[in-house]
Amino acid sequence: MLFSKLSEYYDRLSSIASRLSMIEVMAEIFKDASANEVRPIVYITQGVLSPSFEGIEFGMAEKMVQESVALATGVPKEEVEREYRKLGDMGLAAESIKKRSRLKRMTSDRLTIMEFYNKMLKIAETSGSGSKDAKIKLLASVMAEATPEEAKYAAKYPMDALRLGLGDATILEALSVAYCGGRESKDKLENAYNLCSDLGLVGETIAKKGISAIEKFKVTIFKPIRPALAERLPTAEQILEKMHGESAVEHKYDGFRCQIHKDGKKVKIFSRRLENTTEMFPDIVEAVINEVKVDRVILDGEALAYSEETDEFLPFQKTIQRKRKHGIKEKAIALPLHLFVFDIMLLGNKDMMDAPYIERRKALTELLKHGSILRPSTMIITTKPKELEEFFEDAIENGLEGIVAKDPQAKYVAGARKFSWIKLKRSYKGELSDTLDLVIVGYYIGKGMRSEFGFGGLLCATYNEKRDMFETISRIGSGFTEEQMVELRKTLEKVAVKEKPVRVDAVIKPDFWVYPKYVVTIKADEITRSPTHTCGRSQEKSGIETGFALRFPRLVGESAIRSDKSPEEATTTKEVSEMYKNQKRVSLKE
């Protein structure tokens, strides 16, 4: 397929608001492409060059893309910048300038998708002395070959600004429609994706080998598994009832989620967002090599700072100091970490994913029985609500977040939020004591004293997994420090868009819409119903449509943005609905 054809498809996608229509168009793209082209098409559509764990990035700032456009078209850099500021979109600016460029445009009839992708990959792989100028020239060569329509997406891609409105779930459904004739195989594709975290590989596999090959996906060393997620319930009684009377209960640690992959002396560590964070944790890597006495293993755990002198966990504000690019070894000595391991997914050559939790725990305990840096998480098995409550209180007293209850017979459910894992975050007097991780979808200009910061608040949303949409739940105007307001304005103006993003469902309008990319942690007094928000929107008996909203919401945490969570890992609409029901139950008991 020619890149010009893909650009035409992207234009169609950009004008569509219906998710079902997006699935149909995306399926059409896959049918039109060769099997070899599916993988790069998936990556380009995602706005990446490869899965996050491979760490391949363009390394091109906004100004560099502007210089490439100028070089390709013979237009002064100042004119490119003016066009960009005027249109608010680098792709539209490139298209506009390309249409009126004084330089003769080369034909792009020979620019295929594979050629375009490989040229872009070469830009990312260019490094060392003089790499900045080399990257600019390489992108300019693509722009010089491109039609105005192609130039639009060639400019957007390196800036992570395609913003087509397609989430991973939508691409998975499109693959199912394209190669299986309907959406019924989406769950099988999603399971394969959960095991390998590489959507391009999933697309290529079904295109070349069919659904039977998708069904054979297994855990692979150094391909991170999308982490299991926990549901929420407010009482010990409800947890035990959900787990048929017996539960394994672990301390819940507030640190860095670390998925450890070991093969001989080679160790890689992946974050909650499945990014390769190995270099950040040299002390953990060394401990894995010395303390884990098997050649091949995949472990799931949480790393946090721990004081041997006082025998206590240090607050997350201390642990987060280990997140750095420079001075890593010095910080590792000053602030050593312990890794509390709570699951095992591969042991030797044995896939442990489908083994019951109790069996995985036994293997984990045996493996780490002589460890000092790596330790099994603290765990009890109980059938008594009072014992579970006491264990919860013990976790809180030790400075931890709470507990996670696990079904002793459940398998490891990758990438899904199931009741096989349940967090206990208690509500008192009908008030909301838990925090929510929400996606920023808009922001407001500051007024009064805040006008100097150019920032006055956020419009935030939950993630609706079924719809693959972000639904608004609150306008946040409290809890910001001056530093956070400056940080948020600088960050958000880079992803601000003129029109409401396709995946955002909202009835109120902020001063600036924001492409859903960043997550913040919010505290509120309670969840209420409101006609101004779309989270869980439904019709009341009165006939008025209302959604869930937050009462007295405010930002919490030292850092404004949660860099460890993707938008799809934010609090879901389903979770909010359950929290609202539990809140009402607690209120009735008072």
Q: What positions carry a catalytic annotation?
A: 252
Neighbours of 282 (CB within 10 A): 14
Q: Counting Cβ atoms within 10 Å, is residue 8 exposed (0-12), middle (13-18) or buried (19+)?
A: middle
Q: Looking at this protein, which amino acid is placed at residue 519?
A: V
Contacts of 320 (CB under 8 A, 6+ apart): 558, 559
Kindly give the pairing relationship between strand 417-424 and strand 229-233: parallel
Largest Cα–Cα separation, the chain: 79
Nearest to 61 by CA among 143, 166, 139: 139
Q: Are 523 and 557 in contact (CB under 8 A)?
A: no
Q: Can you tell me the distance from the alpha carbon of 69 to that of 398, in angstroms, rounded to the nearest whole number?
A: 56
Which token pair is 179?
């190669």
Q: Can you tell me the distance from the alpha carbon of 106 to that of 340, in angstroms, rounded to the nearest whole number?
A: 58
C-alpha separations of 97 from 8, 70, 86, 562 in Å: 19, 9, 12, 37
Q: Are 13 and 46 in contact (CB under 8 A)?
A: no
Neighbours of 416 (CB within 10 A): 15
Q: Are 128 and 24 in contact (CB under 8 A)?
A: no
Q: Can you tell me the distance from the alpha carbon of 489 to that of 493, in angstroms, rounded to the nearest whole number?
A: 6
Phi/psi of residue 491, nearest 5 degrees: -75, -45
